[in-house]
Amino acid sequence: MLFDPSWKPLLSALVQPPASLLLLILLGAWMMRHRSRWGTLLVLLSTAGLWLACCVGTAHWLQDSVLRPPPALTAAQVRALARAPNQPPTAIVVLGAGRHRLVAEYGTSSLTQQAMVRLRYGVWLARRTGQPLGYAGGVGWAQTGERSEAETAAQTVQDDYGTTLRWTESRSRDTRENADLMVPILDGAGIQRIVLVTHAAHMPRALRAFREAAGKRLVIVAAPVSAVTRDEQPLLDWLPSQQGFGLVHGALHEILGLITGA
């Protein structure tokens, strides 16, 4: 490694909006003090970029034109995954998306909203197909604490859904480690097919990592959630919003991860 991986969250935050664009605006403002037209242009372009970085329309374009994740499973595809004598041994695997070390009202750790969206769909799939459920997630690079995300997910599944996780992988810190550590666990359990649950924007990177880790031993089926959809009023897609910023930030994070091989 050329740098300490624990720096990944900080470097990612600096490269992505809003930090990168705000720094460019400050640079442009400094250049304008010297009557530089380039400074004015930099401020204008960075401000426009900041606007677009907060629009759902930008996130939708990044998803469909750059990331191009597979579509959500259809009802027929879900039925085809159901446990049956002629089906290969299958595991539904939910990929982690972070956890809060301590949530005061519960007095324990809790999954983030993104992680809960993934987990809910994983439980939904497990109930409709009869296939066992697993969860991959340790303590991320930007996190602290001893309790892993997978352990938090196992408790959540038991308390909120009245069921259990068949497998938990609790040592990984990122997507590639999710795959490198989870695949041997499932391979050793005789699993031949993985139904991979994660956000649509994250799916291209997750599929790459799991296919590289599994080789030809396991089949990977994509089960994406929360694809970006257009608003019923198209104009709203191009007005800045908190939702838009979060979606664009997530898409850029995934694009950066694909480029760097993370």
What is the distance of C-alpha 122 from the center of its chain?
14
Q: Is 60 exceeded by the pLDDT of residue 1?
A: no
Residue 106: pLDDT band by 50, 70, 90 thresholds?
Answer: confident
Tokens (6 digits) for 251: 């898409």
Return the CATH architecture of domain 75-225: 3-Layer(aba) Sandwich (3.40)
Please report how many Cα atoms fall inside a 13 Å half-sphere around the Cα of residue 74, on the Cβ side.
Answer: 3
Res. 82: pLDDT tops 80: yes
Instruction: Give the pair of three-digit tokens for residue 239.
Output: 């007005």
CA dist., res. 195 & res. 165, Å (int): 14
Q: Kindly give the residue spans of alpha helices, DSSP state H, lying in the chain.
A: 8-15, 19-32, 37-52, 56-61, 75-80, 113-129, 149-161, 175-188, 203-214, 242-260
Write down the domain spans for the chain: 8-67+239-260, 75-225
Rounded to an integer, what distance in angstroms lies between the CA atom of residue 90 and that of residue 132?
7
Q: pLDDT at residue 142 above 70?
A: no
pLDDT in tens, 190-220: 999 999 999 999 999 999 999 999 999 999 9
Q: Cα Rg for the chain, rounded, in angstroms?
A: 21
Confidence bin at 35 (pLDDT 50/70/90):
confident
Q: Which two tokens stand for residue 221?
A: 């089926």
For residue 71, report the phi and psi dihedrals to the nearest 5 degrees.
Answer: -75, 165
pTM score > 0.85 for this model?
Answer: yes
What is the DSSP pairing of strand 99-103 with strand 108-111?
antiparallel
